[in-house]
Structure formats: C-alpha cells, structure tokens
Amino acid sequence: MREVLVSLLVTLFLLQAATGVLLMAVYSPSTTNAWSSVWYIQAQAPAGWLLRGLHYFAADAMIALGAMLVAWLALVPGCTGANRRRWWWALTALAAVLAAALSGYLLPWDQRAYWGTVVRTNILARTPAFGEALRRLLLGGEAIGNLALTRFYTLHVMVLPLMLGLLMFRKTRIGRSGVVDAENAQDHRHTGHRLTATLVGAVALLGLLGVTYYSHGVDDHWLTAPADPAQTDYPARPEWWALGLYQWLKYFHGPVAEAFAAIVVPTLIVMLLVLCPYAPRVLGARWGSRAAGILIVALTLGAGVLSLSAVAADRRPPAELEGAARERQHGGQSLTAEDERVLRAGLFHHRRERAQREARRAFALAQDGVPPQGPLAMLVGDPQTRGPTLFAAHCASCHRFDGHDGTGWVTGEKPTSSDLAGFATRAWVRGLLENPASDRYFGLMLNPEGEPAHTRMAKWTADQREGCSTEECRRTLSEDFDAVAAYLEDESWHPGRLTGGESAKAVAPAVEAHAPDGPRVETDEDAITRGRQVFATVCNECHGYQGLRRGTTKAPDMYGYGSIDWLELMIADPAHELRYRAAGREPARMPAFQDRLSEQDRRLIARWLHGSRVPGAPEAALRTPSTE
C-alpha cells in the first residue's frame, strides 16, 4: 500500500510539473493580466480546459494521497524505530504539497483566490510576536497586490516544486552501484508489483480527473469573477481539506482566542506529529508505538465532524423556514439561534448566487475583449453587474426591485417608496394609473407629518372614475389608460418619436425584437398614437413635455419618461424643475445623489433599471443617442 501511494504521488508530481510548465507559457503573473490569461487558458486556448483541469484536480489528488500516506504509516507500520525516516518524509511531503496548493491558490486572481488569501494571511498575522512581520514578508507590504502575486508565483513554480522534486528523488533514488539504499532494499524486490500498481492507479486517477472535470464543466467553480478588493461581502469558503479548520475557528471569538485556535493548537498538533517517533521514551513501548495512530484517528474524526458541521451550516434552508425567520426579523421579534443560522445560510446562498452571476457575466464580457486596464474594468463599467450593487447600496433603503434589494436579497427593513422593477414599462404605468396609492407606487411615501406624500394623482384617478356613469365611458377610460401606458413605454425607448424629436431615428431593431410584448404591430402603433393624443389633451394639464404644459399644476416632465437620461436626472436631482421640484404641495422626498454618487455610477443605475425591463436584451438595446 505504501509503495503504491508513493508511486502515485511521484506520478502526480510529474503530471503537475508537465502541465505547470505548459500553463506558464500562457499565464501572466500580474494583477492586470492574471485573470485574463487564466480565462484564455480555460475558454480559448486549444485543450486549455483539459490542461488546467488536470493541474487543478491533480493538486487535490496529491493532498488526498499525502494524507492517506501519513495515515497508513501511522496505523500500520507506525512512526517509530526504522520507520521514523519514512514518517518524517511523508510529513514533509504533505506539508510541501499543501504549501504548493496554497501558493497556487492566488494565481488566478479571481474573487475566490483573492478573498481566500485575505483570510489566510489574516490568520497568519495572528501568530504571536512575529505574525504581522510574516504576513508583510509574504505579501511584500500591507495589501495583496502585484508584489504578493509575484512572490506566490515564485514559490509555486520554483521554490516548492524544487523542494518536492528533491523529496521525490530522495525517495526513489538508486545508489550509484545499482543497489538501492538500506531503506528501500525491501521495496526494490517488489518493483514489478509497484510498477503494475502505479500504472493501474495512474490510469484510474486520470479517468477520475476527466469525469470530475466534465461533471463541473467550464464554470465558476474553477474561475470566479476578477478580484475586487472593494467587494468585501464575497462568500469565501476554504477548500474541502480546510473546512474542518474553518469550522473550528467559528467557535472562538476575540484576538487571543482566535490566535489560540488558529495558530497555537495547529502548531501543537504538528509538533506532536513530528515528535511521534520519540513517543516510546515518554509513553513507553506499548503506548508510544500506538501514539501516531491514536492521534491520526482523533484528527480524522475531528476534522470529519467539523467539516460536516461546516457543510450543514451552509446548507440552503427550506424556503418556509427562511420566510418565517424573515417575518420575525421584519416584525422586530427576538430571533432564536436557529433563526440566526437560517438567515446566515440564506445570506450565504444569496451572495454565492450573486458571485456565480458575476462570474458568468465576466466570462461573457471577456469574449468581446478585456480592456487594457484589466478585467475588473469590464465589470465596474457594466450596468448589469454594477447597477444592482449600487442600487442595493444606495437605493434599497427606500425602494425595492421586485421585492428585493436589486441583487436578490430581501432586506430586513420595510420599504418607504415605490418598487422599481419594470419601471416605465406598459404594465408598470398601467398599474400606476389604475391605483396610484398602491404600495407598489405612492402608497408607502409619507411626508414629515406621517401623511401620504403624493395624493394628487390618486385623487385624479378617483375623479376620472366618478365621472364615468356608463359602461361605455368606463371602457373608454380603461382603453385610454392602456394607450397612455403604451405611449409612455414607447417614450422611454425613443423620446420624441411622435413629436419629430431627433431621437426618433435612434430606435434600434434589437429593442423592437426584445420588447416585453413582442415586436411592434400596427395595432400597437395605433395605441401609442392614441396614448400621445390622450397625454396631450389630459395628462399635459399637470405633466409637462419638454418644459411645456397646458395647466398650472407642476408634475414631473414626461419627455423621455423612464429613459436612461430621465432616470439619471431623477437620481441626481429629484428636486429639479423637470422632476418633482423642491417646493410646492408635493415636493420631492427623495434625496439628491449628485454629490453622493459619481456621474458614472448614477448612469450605471439608470442603465440597469432601463435595461432590466428587457431580460436578455443585447447591449445595443441600452445605447441610443439620447443615452450615450
């Protein structure tokens, strides 16, 4: 068994070395190019997916085999007597394999790699006396950047492979005279069996790697979105072999306790393993020879239980349990420990799903080329990625987007303003005309005295209905509402089309093809034209159009209503003359964001709100001369 494990380790090391050299020919170790080069290997280079797949899973296999070798030596021959050199070799080899895996973890420079390295180096910094110095030495400074990536790359491709190579050579070498050394004399007599077992094991292992790869496919399990130091809520989790330690650290709080759990206890365990050959001198021959086995069994059971606990803690809770916990949270009730666990697990899955969406989006954007500034620039300037995040951070304290904060998370606070999912679409406007006082629209908005802040439109709607005493009048009113909704939706795509505005020629065929109600038809054009006429004769009494109105009541200007320009001005300055103004009977209640958000960020929110109305619409649908 030991011979097979050692031979498989050597085979995997050679596989890692071969695939590593090929990967080095394409990989670029810089924060600007690292993610792009790994993406190219995985998605573009011929057989790059296979090359990286073998390298990726062979690393996990080496860790598993190294652990199995240590366990075998502890349980069967023991670590004392003539076996102590094999024991120390196995421990050193396992440590080198773990170090190689950890150093290679940062190289893709994606979210998973970056935040995993942040967690590990922060743990290292807790080492008493010299922890922070070690961290700075490893990173080359305070932050994880180019210098840290270069040092990890050097460790991964030169220092640690050289160390592992020397270990493998030491274990398999034959003396110059053609006779193996004393330690390997017995192994030499079984070379034929060992080679047979190695070939069978290597074939089986390669098959396992292939099956594992195809079960995952080319997805974010291998490469997540580009590293973003500003996104501090990434749901970082360790690899399978470190889950037990991750769960162990959860039980300790405070700097001293965390240092004890993360540094002192693991160091003591490593020292016990290293000193195991001397156990008979302390415990006696009987118990000393069994010390390593007992310790390995205890560590295996403990790590297994802790790992299962970590998996169970992150398991997605049933929807009904999560919903009930949220209701208690929203109602201000005391939460039980189970409620808190359910909410934590729900938050973890929400963040993980968001990370997966961002990874898929990054892959899609990279197909069109990565900008010179680096891959993160793709996402920072992408409304589909950045828009919901900005909305959640700055808008979701009042608004909702289909009941959530824009990223899919249902916050614990109650909204105080309208739900903006589908804003300015036909369905959204039609619902507004039908019942402006609904919680989806103006119903939640209150003035400083706690009274409804916007009542004029609700009163107007009620007056229109009261003025209809016949069924024919009510039907006509409903058709007028439908027509106005169709017109305003059309206005949000190409302002001024029915009034000869310049943006009439900006209508992209892609927008028409992806419109929520399908391609335009003649009857739809008739409805839009009728809606424009109703607006000009009825709505224009209050609402302006390019600054003009028929009446004296000042309501928001509807030129380009719901377009990107319209939304951007609303976000920047709700009290603008073309929006809700700062004074009057129903002034703006929304704060201005022109000094809180940059013009680019305001534009990203507006483009996301505008584009999210058309799921799957091409990027061209977001770009018209009126918006860019």
Residue 427 to residue 370: CA distance in whole angstroms: 38
Q: What is the mean pLDDT of residues 19-34?
A: 94
Residue 62 to residue 474: CA distance in whole angstroms: 76
Answer whether residue 566 shows pLDDT above 60: yes
Nearest-5° angle of CA 622, CA 626, CA 628? 60
Cβ proximity of 612 and 514 under 8 Å: no
Confidence (pLDDT) at 212 = 55
Confidence (pLDDT) at 104 = 94
To the nearest whole percent, how much of the chain has pLDDT over 70? Answer: 86
| Residue ranges of domains in the chain, CATH in brackets | 2-236 (1.20.810.10), 319-380 (no CATH), 426-436+446-622 (no CATH)
Confidence (pLDDT) at 471 = 92
- pLDDT digits over 106-137, tens only? 999 999 999 999 999 998 888 888 889 999 99
* Residue among 222, 269, 223 nearest 248 (CA): 269
- pLDDT digits over 306-322, tens only? 999 999 999 999 988 98
> Which band of pLDDT confidence, cut at 50, 70 and 90, is reported for residue 196?
low
Cβ proximity of 504 and 497 under 8 Å: yes
Least confident of 92-101, 195-204, 233-242, 467-476: 195-204
Residue 90 to residue 93: CA distance in whole angstroms: 5
Integer angstrom CA distances of residue 351 from 383, 409, 624:
18, 9, 33
- pLDDT digits over 409-431, tens only? 887 788 999 999 999 999 999 99
Look up tokens 């959640």; give the residue: 392
* Residue among 59, 193, 34, 214 nearest 114 (CA): 34
Cα 626 versus chain centre, distance: 33
Answer whether residue 569 shows pLDDT above 50: yes
The amino acid sitting at 97 is V
- pLDDT digits over 582-615, tens only? 888 888 889 999 999 999 999 999 999 998 876 5
Residue 3 to residue 198: CA distance in whole angstroms: 9
Cβ proximity of 105 and 116 under 8 Å: yes
Concatenating the DSSP letter of every residue in 200-220 gives: HHHHHHHHHHHHHHHHH-SST
Residue 296 to residue 304: CA distance in whole angstroms: 12
Concatenating the DSSP letter of every residue in 355-406 gives: HHHHHHHHHHHHTT---TT-THHHHHT-HHHHHHHHHHHHTTTT-BBTTB-S
Q: What is the mean pLDDT of residues 170-188?
A: 47
Confidence (pLDDT) at 503 = 35
Cβ proximity of 149 and 106 under 8 Å: yes
Q: What is the mean pLDDT of residues 342-365?
A: 91
Answer whether residue 105 shows pLDDT above 50: yes
Return the H-helix or E-strand segment holding 622.
none
To the nearest whole percent, how much of the chain has pLDDT over 90? Answer: 52
> Which band of pLDDT confidence, cut at 50, 70 and 90, is reported for residue 197?
low
Residue 517 to residue 427: CA distance in whole angstroms: 10
Confidence (pLDDT) at 613 = 79
Cβ proximity of 153 and 161 under 8 Å: no
